[in-house]
Homo-oligomer: A and B are copies of this chain.
Amino acid sequence: MSERTVCVIGLGLIGGSLLRAADVAGWKVRGMARSDAVVTAAREAGFDVTSSIEDALADDALVVLAVPLPAVVDVLPVLARHAPRCRLTDVVGVKQPVAAAVARLAPAVRYVGGHPMAGTSASGWAAGSATLFSGAPWVVGSDDGADPVVWAQVAQLALDCGAHVVPAGAADHDAAVARVSHLPHLLAAVLASVGADGAALAMSLAAGSFTDGTRVAASPPELVRAMCEGNREALLSAVDDALGRLGAARGSLASTGGLAATIQAGHVARRTFDTTRDAPRDNTVHVELRASDALAQLRDLGRQGARVVALEGTRCQIELTASPAR
């Protein structure tokens, strides 16, 4: 088994950055891209890159699926045919649909999902960078049944790329990103459209609150759609929450003229977020991945906002804030 060999399928912003970051960290790296232009560019940058999945899968590397969600179902049958027992992770922004596709199309691969929470407003190989994941959270799927050896390798790859690991089950992950990633993209699109309806005068008065609130609407729409539409159930729940709160604000403004509850709650939430993010993480615990309840422990810790900052074999070092947010 090649302990530190990675094969990245798809060399867009995330896959291309992963290839570079893992290379810098000393992994043996290999990549695959469909586009001849990307293959050429990556080769010119000194990487071992091919346009054939079969070639890319030639030895026993950790395979990283770095294609958009809609392409996952095209790649998995090829994997199942050529590397049916391979170790597999991915970087797709939703986890339940990928897990379901893997179970259906490549049931024997040893899959542990992943999701590095890094930017989407640029895209493509050329936009990639070895430092993209520096300081970013990287979710590693921790549902029951995950192979502890594969889990440790995926987590090590994330740590080696400069990220910290957030352990989470697929359903918890999808619910969380619906609220903090997919809903923000949807609200940014709505806000941009409402602003544009105010015509040229509104656009010439737009300042920080509008430019901040619509920034991610500049992201490639096909990537935003793939990520939001792929997380339908969880996003519906988050949208309903937002609609309920915005509707309540509307009702209060129309009836009493007041917005205190909405604005105060939002202010407290944002301040708590800032405080928690900047709080010292001085509470260290360890989880042994070979323990029978290791994955349950990891999921519980992830729900409390903990993160894995180091691995020694199958022993995770985990940091928590002293007073975790709710």
Q: Which residues of B contact A184 (CB under 8 A)?
A: 191, 209-210, 212-213
Partner of A194, one of B210, B213, B238, B249: B238
Total residues of chain A contacting the partner, CB 8 A: 103
Q: Which residues of B contact A173 (CB under 8 A)?
A: 201, 205
Q: Which residues of B contact A139 (CB under 8 A)?
A: 205
> Nearest CB to that of A167 among chain B residues?
B201
* A185 lies within 8 A of chain B by Cβ: yes
Contact A263 B210 (CB under 8 A): no
Partner of A250, one of B204, B236, B245, B326: B236
Contact A177 B195 (CB under 8 A): no
A303 to B198, alpha carbons, bound, how many Å?
A: 10
Partner of A191, one of B192, B209, B242: B242
* A218 lies within 8 A of chain B by Cβ: yes
Contact A205 B176 (CB under 8 A): yes
A-B contact pairs, 5 of them (CB 8 A): A166-B204, A198-B238, A212-B216, A217-B270, A228-B253
Interface, chain A (partner B; CB < 8 A): 117-121, 136-137, 139, 166, 168, 172-173, 175-181, 183-210, 212-219, 221, 224-225, 228-229, 232, 235-236, 238-243, 245-247, 249-250, 253-254, 257-260, 262-267, 269-274, 276-277, 302-307, 324-326
Beyond A200-B325, A203-B276, A213-B216, 11 extra complex contacts between A and B, CB < 8 Å:
A166-B204, A166-B205, A177-B202, A186-B249, A186-B259, A194-B241, A196-B326, A197-B241, A213-B213, A221-B260, A225-B263
